[in-house]
Structure 1
Amino acid sequence: MLIRHLTCALLLARAAAALTADKNSQPFTDLEKLIEQARSTQEHILDDRAIATEKRGEICTRDNLTVRRPWGSLSKNERKAYTDAVLCLQSLPARTPASVAPGAKSRYDDFVATHITQALHIHYTGIFLAWHRWLVYNYEQALKNECGYKGSQPYWNWALYASDPASSPIFDGSAYSMSGNGKYVPNKGIITLTLGDFPPIYLPAGTGGGCVTSGPFKKMQVNLGPVTLPLNNGSVLTGTGLEYNPRCLKRDISARVNSAYANATSVISLILKNKNIGDFQMVMQGIPGSGSIGVHGGGHYTMGGDPADDIFVSPGEPVFYLHHGMIDLVWWIWQALDYKNRRDAISGTGTFLNSPPSPNTTLDDIIDLGYAGGGPITMRELMSVHDGPFCYTYIL
């Protein structure tokens, strides 16, 4: 118990000293420059392609790129249009048969069920980045094609609000947010994360913990899970996650986690210091045994609660898609810094930390989101945001 509290104290000290960002800070300026550089690289590629082909109406060009923007840059009407579309998706009937996922009751749940059933093949594997790129894209298309959404998928810039995410436009609880924090639950203690035989990681609890009580998703019902939800006493709930288990959306927003793991310095360091895809995606997810949960874990545990903290059921949290939009943005920037060599760079096998051992991932491997939609597609088609089915870019 003493070791646990000392570890938590060290984490809190690290969080307090961590470099966060506002729009005037150097790390945020560096991130702006990297995005501009990635955009420039993309535009040169598209311009060269347009010159080389006569089929200009059939290819992605800089003129028909869909632009993904951070949540805070959207107007109030644009934010409401997005949350209205998410609520619409939650009102439509599921396509997943009850024989596959009895708890899938809505179209929204189709995406959650797919993530549950494939979770051990899409984290710490060779398809982690591409699989989630494909999931977010198909979620965006469902919002557009099935719920009339006219905008694009927004993203959550963790770095901008790292010191106080709860007051950000994403979580401020207004009608134009993604809803606020959960109701405060006192004396929660710390969260203990375990991964096999590696030393545990201790995370400070956030400032909520209970049901979300404000904003568009205050009445949202979570239908699936939990599977492996870390609780504040260190215990874990287990189950298939596919049964019907209706409950409220819970959040436990943590500035300490955000500041420690998903601040501007973390993002810049991830992009610039990792020269190969294996290191890049491993550091992003948190190297097992390193004591870090990476920016990927940083975003999830900044949201906190149920289902955000559950690696299987996390898409049940609507901010999941904004979080993974940022994950995709960071990958896009990293690729653009050496596009020729990084466009098709992949590393890893088909199973979680290669357990059980499985073949290396290849560009010919098939990704299939099942009832979430999108159809089977090769890894090769998912490696660039302006090739295959994609034609989008990011701005800060």
Structure 2
Amino acid sequence: MPLSLSLITLCLVFVSLLSPVGGAVERRKCSHPAVRKEWRSLPHKERADWITAVNCLAKLPHDRMFKPSVNPPDIAPYNASGSLFDGIGSLTQTLNSLAKILFMHTWIHYTGQFLPWHRWYINTFDQALRSRCGYRGSSPYWDWTKGSPSPSSRVRVMQYLPVSGLGGWGAASTQYHVLDGAFSASSSFRPSYPYPHIMWRNYTLFPPLDKLIPIPGFVWNLSMPATDNFTRPVVEGIINGFEGDFRNFHATLESGPHTYVHLCVSGDMAGVCPVGAPPDCITAPTFSANDPLFFLHHAMVDRIWYKWQHKHKSNKNAFFGGSVQRLENATAFLRYQTGGPPFLSMDSVIPTNGLATSPVILSDVMSTTEGPLCYIYD
């Protein structure tokens, strides 16, 4: 009998290209932590300033240090004339392809690297906005549980204002292009990967999970709306549960809210080829960070981990995970949802693709206030 699984995660692999702000990891006591705040609680000017900084990164020329080590034939070639923001897509595609070919121990989804790596990555992006583009406001997150009971409204954090809004949903009649907000079709914002295009979003209540990652033995539950996986009761249950049990906390968070937000927003956020893409475009999770909403989404994932860590003493330093994805069949995945052996330790290196001036290890990011990081959540 095939194994049944109601939650399946889109395998997303991301690599940071923002080394100049990553720098060497230094131990220090954090005496004045920055406070990260929910996007909708920020004044309009602060939202506009954050968007301006993102657009600034999208206008800066690529850095010569950002060069892919290979140019695999199954992904778009590196665009040396693209922006600093565009480089995210290029380098994430490269690592994803390398990992598939070499089965490298650098996977950052379905392994123990998932939460630590994304904590480092979101912080690195935040520091880039500040050091490269002068942002001085709060680092935002997107609380998907807020809003009206309507699924579409609950997902909607993207106000439509042209200067301070993230934009809304696209429509089939316009190839799902985002037509409002600061990253709309009428703006200059154009992601370069998998080819230059207008950013797009396609609200998808029932994602076709059975077509995303075909793992032998899985039977997906396609009848559950995506939005049922990131309601307030679901998120509170994750934060309040799994006392001292990092493995099941991580697996539930990654396969549940994290995945279904990506798939519900769809479009660039889910790594789906845009309508009208060239025939050689391959739908893949490698360019999910094309959408600036990605960074608010993963800040919320980090916030859930932060709140869980502070819920019980046994949660603070709890950790368990392997370094290798085990997606070859249902049995392997259910046994190793947070990665198979070799297992990680606090001395394990976080993969930065050589873009940090010194190694970053897991213990560096287990706390947001003890070590190189210095922030808390409201």
Normalised by the length of structure 1, the TM-score is: 0.66
Distance 1:84 1:374 in 2: 28
Partner of 2:335: none
Cα pair distance change 1:221/1:391, threshold 3 Å: same
- Whether 1:278 and 2:257 are equivalent positions in the alignment is no
1:380 Cα deviation after fit: 0.6
- Whether 1:320 and 2:294 are equivalent positions in the alignment is yes
Partner of 2:58: 90
Runs of 4+ with >6 A deviation = none
1:103 Cα deviation after fit: 3.3
What is the number of equivalent residue pairs in this alignment? 289
Spell out the pairing of 1:176-187 with structure 2 (5 A cutoff): 176-182=164-170, 184-185=171-172
Name stretches of at least 5 consecutive residues in structure 2 with no aligned partner: 1-5, 8-27, 71-76, 100-106, 207-224, 272-283, 329-338
Instruction: Work out which of the residue numbers 117, 124, 138 in structure 2 matches 1:131.
Output: 117
Contact 1:251 1:304 in 2 (8 A): yes
Contact 2:30 2:371 in 1 (8 A): no
Partner of 1:4: none
Cα pair distance change 1:112/1:363, threshold 3 Å: farther
Cα pair distance change 1:368/1:152, threshold 3 Å: farther
Partner of 2:348: 365
1:116 Cα deviation after fit: 3.5
Partner of 2:199: 249
Instruction: Work out which of the residue numbers 379, 385, 388 in structure 1 matches 2:362.
Output: 379
Instruction: Work out which of the residue numbers 213, 238, 252 in structure 1 matches 2:179.
Output: 213
Distance 1:153 1:374 in 2: 24
**Partner SS state of residue 139, structure 2:** coil
Instruction: Work out which of the residue numbers 256, 261, 269 in structure 2 matches 1:299.
Output: 261
**Partner SS state of residue 342, structure 2:** coil
**Partner SS state of residue 350, structure 1:** strand
Contact 2:144 2:154 in 1 (8 A): no
**Partner AA of 2:304 in structure 1:** V
- Whether 1:158 and 2:124 are equivalent positions in the alignment is no
Distance 1:374 1:332 in 2: 26
Partner of 1:143: 129
**Partner SS state of residue 265, structure 1:** helix
After superposition, the C-alpha distances for 1:245-269 in whole angstroms (9 at most, x for unaligned) are: 2122110134675531111011011
Cα pair distance change 1:330/1:313, threshold 3 Å: same
**Partner SS state of residue 85, structure 2:** helix
Distance 1:164 1:296 in 2: 16
Distance 2:354 2:344 in 1: 23
- Whether 1:352 and 2:325 are equivalent positions in the alignment is yes
Normalised by the length of structure 2, the TM-score is: 0.69
1:115 Cα deviation after fit: 3.6
RMSD: 2.7
Distance 2:354 2:55 in 1: 19
Partner of 2:73: none
1:353 Cα deviation after fit: 3.0
**Partner SS state of residue 170, structure 1:** coil
Among all aligned residue pairs of Structure 1 and Structure 2, give the percentage whose two residues are the same amino acid.
29
Contact 1:122 1:128 in 2 (8 A): yes
Instruction: Work out which of the residue numbers 88, 93, 109 in structure 1 matches 2:86.
Output: 109
Distance 1:68 1:177 in 2: 18
Q: Which moved more, 1:356-365 or 1:258-267?
A: 356-365
**Partner AA of 2:86 in structure 1:** D
Cα pair distance change 1:140/1:84, threshold 3 Å: same
**Partner SS state of residue 346, structure 1:** coil
**Partner AA of 1:347 in structure 2:** F
Distance 1:163 1:357 in 2: 39
Instruction: Work out which of the residue numbers 33, 37, 43 in structure 2 matches 1:65.
Output: 33
Spell out the pairing of 1:16-27 with structure 2 (5 A cutoff): none
Distance 2:78 2:136 in 1: 32
Name stretches of at least 5 consecutive residues in structure 1 with no aligned partner: 1-9, 12-57, 187-207, 226-244, 287-293
Partner of 1:29: none
1:133 Cα deviation after fit: 0.3
Distance 1:90 1:334 in 2: 34
**Larger % of helix: which?**
1
Distance 1:159 1:132 in 2: 20
Contact 1:223 1:246 in 2 (8 A): yes
Distance 1:150 1:92 in 2: 18
Contact 1:262 1:295 in 2 (8 A): yes
Distance 2:305 2:175 in 1: 31
1:136 Cα deviation after fit: 0.1
Cα pair distance change 1:343/1:311, threshold 3 Å: farther
Cα pair distance change 1:374/1:118, threshold 3 Å: farther
Contact 2:93 2:287 in 1 (8 A): yes
Spell out the pairing of 1:30-45 with structure 2 (5 A cutoff): none
